[in-house]
Structure 1
Amino acid sequence: MSMFKVFDISGSAVSAQSQRLNVVASNLANVDTVAGPDGSAYKARQVVFQTVMMDAQGRAASGEMGDPTGASAGVTVSTVSEDNTPGRKVRDPSHPAADADGYVTYSNVNAVEEMVNMISASRSYQNNIEVMNTAKSLLLKTLQMGQG
């Protein structure tokens, strides 16, 4: 495997974790939203990752690759799925969005789980940046050895 493929692999992971962080931010922004006029509240979203084979240029490869020894794998976001668990209901008959029984339906976002998800995504992002910085440093040292 070429040393330069490290940048493709880590770059795909950084991109995927960035999307994951955006979804977490959206979920956290909607923790306390209530059901709209249609009766449905915001549903938490989760990112689903998928392994993808990369070609020699570091792009996602389609179909079979001719040279299996030069193949490398990256990651991509395959889908962003909604959590279909029901939202939490709070009894508040004075609330304008209360239903006929006096209950207000809030989103199904769990703030604690989302914060853990955010920390995990942030650490993964940082680790992949560190991998790229280390590879860059090693490549620069290799070039310096060739100059001497």
Structure 2
Amino acid sequence: MDLKNSVDVSASGLRAQALRMRVIAENLANSDSVARDPGGDPYRRRVATFKSEVDRATGATQVKVQSITPDKSSFSRVYQPGNPAADGQGYVLRPNVNPLIESADMKAAQRSYEANLNAIEAARNLTQRTIDLIK
């Protein structure tokens, strides 16, 4: 695999992790939102999933977004009879977003993003050193 292919693979990883961080940020931003209608469903956590895909032109395996799917875990219920989103019994459904899990996922996505940046930087440095040797 040449240096251009390694940069392309790392760039696909950067795109994937950037999308993952965006989805996590949306989850965190909506972690306190409730339904608009009484008894309605609140925001449902979303999860980005990835797949590997071979680029036919280069033969390199790259990361692609497979889907962004809703998390099927249940909502928590909180007794708040005065809340406009409360159902007939006075319970409000809360989003299935756990800020601790989202923070851990965000840290993992950041580290993966940084690793891909480091790989691109290493390829750039190798290219520069090769050019310097040719001079």
- Length-normalised TM-score, structure 1: 0.87
Match of residue 141, structure 1, among 113, 125, 129: 129
Deviation, 1:107, is 0.6
The 2-side partners of 1:10 and 1:81 are apart by 24
Match of residue 46 from structure 2: 45
Give the residue type in structure 2 aligned to 1:11: A
Is the Cα–Cα contact under 8 Å of residues 48 and 78 in structure 1 kept in the other structure? yes
3-state SS in 2 of match to 1:84: coil
The 1-side partners of 2:31 and 2:75 are apart by 10
Match of residue 97 from structure 2: 109
Q: Which runs of 5+ in 2 are unaligned?
A: none
Give the residue type in structure 2 aligned to 1:90: V
Deviation >3 Å, runs of 4+: none
Computed over aligned residues only, the root mean square deviation of the Cα atoms, in angstroms, reads: 1.1
Equivalent residues in 2 for 1:1-148, closer than 5 Å: 1-37=1-37, 39-56=40-57, 71-147=59-135
3-state SS in 2 of match to 1:97: coil
Is the Cα–Cα contact under 8 Å of residues 35 and 107 in structure 1 kept in the other structure? no
The 2-side partners of 1:28 and 1:88 are apart by 16
Q: How many residues align?
A: 134
Deviation, 1:36, is 2.5
Percent of residue pairs bearing the same amino acid type: 34
Deviation, 1:72, is 1.1
